[in-house]
Structure 1
Amino acid sequence: MTPSSRLAAILDLLTEVESAPRPADAVTSAFFRARRHIDDQDRGAMLETLYAILRHRARLGWWLSRQGRAETARGRLLAWLALGERKGPDQVARLFPTPLSAADSALVTALHGSALDHAEMPEPVRLECPDWALEPLRRRFGADFAAEMAATLVAPPLDLRVNPVKTSRDQALRGLSRLGLRAEPMALSPLGIRLPDRISLALLPGLKSGEIEIQDEGSQLVAHLVEAKPGERVVDFCAGAGGKTLALAAQMQNRGHLVACDVNEARLKRCAERLRKAGLHNVETRVLASETDKWVKRHKGGYDRVLIDAPCSGTGTWRRNPDARWRAPDLGLSALMALQARILASAARLVRPGGRLVYATCSVLVEENEAQVAAFLAAHPGFALLPLGEAFPPLQALGDHLSLTPKAHGTDGFFAAILTRQA
């Protein structure tokens, strides 16, 4: 693609992302499926520009408002070219796929030579923090609020999890090295591999064969804390598309019974497809009508391990899904927390005496994490908190809960608490 045609495609993609109710990754996947003529190099360059604009959305919007412009996809792209890529008015005019209007030319001329940050920007704008999450995040991080928010604006590396049913981490590392890729074993996840450089996923044949999966190190650690063993009965209560289900099934070495539950049938179908590709066949998928589905009551006390990857605000995923920060939880934070409490209380019924319950979120908010666990333990004296160090000694320094952030740990933001049912 020429630079101009690439910008035209970026503008089309950005327009779709901003107008669709779906997450950006779902929109981009559909966009490129419909345009298979776009090669990997152009696709990578387009995605890099798109996600840069999404990561700087508040600041770009502030500059547009300062210049009296509406916050449109065209305006954001013009502002990014001037502020983010530091292109002059003549360069923008030559590259842009359609002629610039007088207002467009005035905008890029006014922005030329300015930096993205400005001394007059309010702190939430400079840190790209939405109003709905501002106070909860300030309570969570205190003096570290600005540094933690800045870490969410850095693009994450590519994290992989090895499927031990098909290969080992050493074998996978050797295979990546033969492909000329720089890869390193993760410090905490025993099955994790990190690729620090941007690459095309087409360069990873292991993704098609099921030998490796894309999974953030924090998510891998959450699954690891379940410690599902071969021959056990295990439930992944909010399985979704199955990222952690795959990890649990591999832990069980295809022996035992794993039930992947969710209220969304389409997500569970995607989960089943991924399980087949990975060579994992000890999993049953089950659609639930709600968190209190009759199936839960019928199987009370019937499982050794239960994982609850609860629906949450997603504040821990912002560096990976920058568009998510501008979508407040559909239910509102208070209603979402009430749902989490109901899910936790209901799924806990499945745990046998002496069994393990892991409650997890991809949130960094205390209200969704530590506060939920404390309230559950107060209402359910038959459960006790198991400190991380007892379950997984390498995490002993983290204290009683797994609480990860991009700044402190180089992962997405994840929380997990291990609860055991008294025998």
Structure 2
Amino acid sequence: MIPAARLQAVIEILEGLDDKPAEQPAEQVVNDYLRQRRYIGSKDRRAVTAMTYDVLRHRARIGWWLEHGEGTAASPRQQLLAYLALCSRENPEPLNQLFDGSRYAPAPLSEEEAAVAARLGDPALRDAAPPAWVANEVPQWLMPKLEAAFGEAAAAEAEALLQEAPIDLRVNTLLGTRETARAALAEEGIASEATPLSPVGLRVEGRRALRASQAYTAGLVELQDEGSQLAALLCDARPGMAVADVCAGGGGKTLALAAAMEGRGRLLAMDVEQARLDRSALRLKRAGAAFVERRAAKDLSADTSLHGAFDRVLVDAPCSGTGAWRRHPDARWRLTPDDLESYTILQREVLLKAAALVKPGGRLIYVTCSLLPEENRVQADAFLSEVPGFAVLPAEAVWQQVLSVPYPGGAPYLTLTPARHGTDGFFVALFERETAA
């Protein structure tokens, strides 16, 4: 594709996003667009996807610049103009050469668009200092929450959330070791290196079609961020235990727990939606984790036979997903204050009900991929104050038992962040139930 054709593809994807429901993720829209145009080569697919995501990452600045320059309501074409003029790391051809209306290229600039482009070329506009939430590409209502969580480091965390996330794999130790997985990937021309914290992780170099690799289709590796791997390892699930993953979803952490248990014991994957559990069935089969039970349950407390039955209960809670913004750059703009309130209510409800499943001496593990205090420390502290019979188990103590690398810090809970640890943002709190007298 010529450069102008890539721009036209980005415009069409952005227009597609405008036509879709607000809750539909950009990843799905991008994938659908490219799937319908299989003639687009892999290099061009990567370029179009990267530029689309970059426009989405800079939505606050693009909107502020357009308004600051007295621009009208930003159309996808105007958003791309602002991106090319002010955000692009490349030095594109003059805009009138890219928007020339030739075959596959965007239509020529309208009079209004040409005026917008001229205003965007004003050096004073580039040098103007935007407010903190714009500079950090965070919704205005969320910036104070990040500042409350990280203080002076909030800007660095926000900047890290704007970067492209690495591709991490978890080695399925039911089928092989990290060394055998790395060798298998290398045979397919996929270079990888050991992740710095997770003993079962590999970080892939470059962007590769991993789902088509033999190592993936054979179940030897799974796509999973290093932070998610660490959260699963901190469950300290062991062979012969009874373990419940009560918000199992697509089964990512369920698979990690199955490997830690070496296929022995009872592992129950639960979710409110049967469809989510059905989607995990193929992954479980591919991974050699046939011993996993799957059960849809709208109410965790309904089946009293499960009460007090598990050594480990993992609550990988529904959350805002702020820690995964690197992977879903449009998600930050879809999150609303009402959404956050709904998540916190649901998290509290799930925690309270999941506690009943923990046997005396067992552990409840609360995990989110959020960086917001309301979903993390506030929830953990509230649980301890509301539910008798549980005590906090310092994350550092468990880390030292199950991992050989130094503890990355945080007490009594663990918070992993892109800026500090190179992982997605994760929060882990561990609670232990008192042993019956």
TM-score, normalised to structure 2, is: 0.90
Structure 2 matches for 1:19-418, cutoff 5 A? Answer: 19-20=19-20, 21-65=23-67, 66-83=69-86, 84=88, 85-87=90-92, 88-94=94-100, 96-112=105-121, 114=123, 118-201=127-210, 204-290=213-299, 292-295=300-303, 297-329=304-336, 331-393=338-400, 394=405, 396-398=407-409, 399-418=411-430
Between the aligned partners of 1:138 and 1:330, the Cα distance in structure 2 is: 16
Long gaps (5+) in structure 1: none
Between the aligned partners of 2:60 and 2:124, the Cα distance in structure 1 is: 14
Going from structure 1 to structure 2, the CA distance change for 1:64 and 1:266 (only over 3 Å counts) comes to farther
Instruction: Give the C-alpha shift of residue 130 in structure 1.
Output: 0.4
Q: Is the 8 A contact 1:44 1:200 kept in 2?
A: no
Between the aligned partners of 2:414 and 2:125, the Cα distance in structure 1 is: 35
Instruction: Give the C-alpha shift of residue 377 in structure 1.
Output: 1.1
Going from structure 1 to structure 2, the CA distance change for 1:198 and 1:397 (only over 3 Å counts) comes to closer
Amino acid at match of 1:388: A
Going from structure 1 to structure 2, the CA distance change for 1:81 and 1:167 (only over 3 Å counts) comes to same
Greater mean deviation of Cα atoms: 24-33 or 335-344: 24-33
Between the aligned partners of 1:202 and 1:231, the Cα distance in structure 2 is: 31
Give 3-state SS (helix, strand or coil) of 2:330's partner.
helix
TM-score, normalised to structure 1, is: 0.93
Between the aligned partners of 2:33 and 2:202, the Cα distance in structure 1 is: 29
Between the aligned partners of 2:395 and 2:287, the Cα distance in structure 1 is: 29
Long gaps (5+) in structure 2: none
Between the aligned partners of 2:337 and 2:130, the Cα distance in structure 1 is: 28
Q: Is the 8 A contact 1:60 1:76 kept in 2?
A: yes
Between the aligned partners of 1:202 and 1:78, the Cα distance in structure 2 is: 34
Between the aligned partners of 2:257 and 2:111, the Cα distance in structure 1 is: 58
Q: Is the 8 A contact 1:209 1:277 kept in 2?
A: yes
Amino acid at match of 2:430: I
Q: Quick check: 1:15 aligned with 2:15?
A: yes
Give 3-state SS (helix, strand or coil) of 2:268's partner.
strand
Q: 1:48-82 deviations in whole A, cap 9, x for unaligned?
A: 11111111111111122224231222221222222
Between the aligned partners of 2:219 and 2:39, the Cα distance in structure 1 is: 26
Give 3-state SS (helix, strand or coil) of 1:396's partner.
coil
Instruction: Give the C-alpha shift of residue 357 in structure 1.
Output: 1.0
Instruction: Give the C-alpha shift of residue 197 in structure 1.
Output: 2.7
Instruction: Give the C-alpha shift of residue 154 in structure 1.
Output: 1.0
Q: Quick check: 1:4 aligned with 2:4?
A: yes
RMSD across aligned positions (CA): 2.2
Amino acid at match of 2:413: H
Q: 1:80-127 deviations in whole A, cap 9, x for unaligned?
A: 222214432333324842222122222223323759954331111111
Between the aligned partners of 1:185 and 1:383, the Cα distance in structure 2 is: 36
Instruction: Give the C-alpha shift of residue 333 in structure 1.
Output: 2.5
Q: Is the 8 A contact 2:133 2:139 kept in 1?
A: yes
Give 3-state SS (helix, strand or coil) of 2:378's partner.
helix
Between the aligned partners of 2:240 and 2:74, the Cα distance in structure 1 is: 56
Give 3-state SS (helix, strand or coil) of 2:146's partner.
helix
Between the aligned partners of 1:59 and 1:115, the Cα distance in structure 2 is: 15
Q: 1:203-243 deviations in whole A, cap 9, x for unaligned?
A: 74322222111111111001111122222221111111111
Between the aligned partners of 2:29 and 2:378, the Cα distance in structure 1 is: 34
Greater mean deviation of Cα atoms: 223-232 or 13-22: 13-22
Between the aligned partners of 1:23 and 1:293, the Cα distance in structure 2 is: 32
Going from structure 1 to structure 2, the CA distance change for 1:252 and 1:61 (only over 3 Å counts) comes to same
Amino acid at match of 1:252: M
Amino acid at match of 2:203: R
Matched length? 421
Give 3-state SS (helix, strand or coil) of 2:43's partner.
helix
Paired-residue identity, %: 45
Instruction: Give the C-alpha shift of residue 330 in structure 1.
Output: 7.5
Going from structure 1 to structure 2, the CA distance change for 1:375 and 1:221 (only over 3 Å counts) comes to same
Going from structure 1 to structure 2, the CA distance change for 1:114 and 1:303 (only over 3 Å counts) comes to farther
Instruction: Give the C-alpha shift of residue 252 in structure 1.
Output: 1.8
Between the aligned partners of 1:29 and 1:131, the Cα distance in structure 2 is: 29
